Amino acid sequence: MKQTTFEEFVDLTRRGTFVPIVREIMADLLTPVSAFLKIAEHSDYAFLFESVEGGEQVARYSFLGKDPFLVLRAREGKTGIDRSGMTTETEEAFVPVLRRLMAEFQSPFVPGLPRFTGGAVGFIGYDAAAVFEPALQDAWRKAAWAGQPGSGEDDAGFMLFDTVLAFDHVKHRILVIANARVTADEDLGALYQFACAKIDFLERELERGLSRPEPNVSAEPAVWSNQTKEAYEAGVREIKEHIAAGDIYQAVLSQRFEADVTADPFTVYRALRHVNPSPYMYFMRMGKLAIVGSSPEMLVRVEGRRVETHPIAGTRPRGATEDEDLRLAEELKRNEKERAEHVMLVDLGRNDLGRVCDFGTVRVPQYMALERYSHVMHLVSTVDGRLAEANDHLDALVACFPAGTVSGAPKIRAMQLLSRLEPTRRDIYAGAVGYIDFAG
């Protein structure tokens, strides 16, 4: 068992105020799901981010955590902060508030540790785009759903964690990470011992038995849409008219499906990861709200000054045989419509990154690569650039939000049109879920 020594901890305190103490334990008898059930099943605020399939760069780590020390919520132009049992509220937008909060906790970069060792975990709903883009605010006021009662969901929400577990699927180990918040007058020895005690507690939790029954999700619930088939098809026809007129290149019309279910949210997550394993799977619980999802697509990643996004467009099902799979792959790569859609989204990604990157640094190092997943195959590109010194990771997130694959191109004009055609807010759907590490 390896652990950050006190001497190493003291050295790290010279480079940051939020310092990770790490203990490595064996993971041969644990999975991320079983660990979550042991540690966080009954926590009101918790998360599990898994990579169920993908290469080492995508699927090496899964992360989980519970009981954040701070919760940020944004709704209807106001931002609330819950910290140490106290709630404060401001009319300031949530992005600058989150930026200031993150600046309070400067974590040193430690080579060999995963991308996430503590920080903010949360979501931004699709409708929050109007907070970032003034050109959408008038469209939102005139939207088909304007004036309707809201769903009650937050526009955005983030939880700040100082303790996380990272599953390393390559080395078959768990890194239990507890961060110590260092101030000038703190006793470093006491801080180190307190962090070690938190790790001890989590390790004991991981060792306990698990008696949870197998999930039962066999029932078929009734499912209903927020619009009729005729209304949806009329929306498609209107979009095609705008494309023919040169107003837009594409728009992604959506509809909401709802169902009453008796299964608890984590059971739904377990079923989803079984039927649709993906590189990015997520479960988040924030009070009464639970978010469950599975996606092959990364919206944006910032490491140091490097920013990258991965447009995905072009899809075929997996073949029942190897020969059929190869045939479908060749058909996808040659399909004129799929390639044209992909080109549009790559151009959109270049434009998005161009807003926050140094001039001349945006490039496409991977173009129309074929990636296979459990049920489908996609054409995937990588667009990257060097983040300008005047911008940070939140600026990059805002520039790329929301993904072109769920909005359209040009993005703002497509979203303005969609707001007239869709009868209800999208809320969390088509937004973003992810994490921001305290080390940047």
Class of the domain covering 6-207: alpha beta
pLDDT tens-digit map of 122-156: 999 999 999 999 999 999 999 999 988 767 789 99
Q: Residues 20-24: what's their mean pLDDT?
A: 98
- 250: confidence class by pLDDT, cuts 50, 70, 90: very high
- Mean pLDDT of all residues in 7-30: 94
d(CA 307, CA 386): 6
Report the range of poorest mean pLDDT among 50-54, 136-140, 203-207.
Answer: 50-54
pLDDT value of residue 186: 83
Distance CA 170, CA 391 (A): 34
CA 173 – CA 166 distance, rounded (Å): 8
In the predicted structure, residue 54 carries a pLDDT above the cut 60: no
pLDDT at 149: 73
Give the pLDDT band of residue 55 (cuts 50, 70, 90): very low
| pLDDT tens digit sequence for 89-100 | 999 999 999 999
Outline which parts of the chain fall under CATH 3.60.120.10.
6-207
Per-residue confidence band for 373, with pLDDT thresholds at 50, 70 and 90: confident
Please give the average per-residue pLDDT across 178-192, as a whole number.
93
Q: Cα torsion for 196, 202, 205, 206, to the nearest 10°?
A: -110
- Mean pLDDT for the chain overall: 93
**What's the CA angle centered on 431, arms 60 and 318, to 5 degrees?**
55
pLDDT score for 401: 98
Name residue 371's amino acid: E
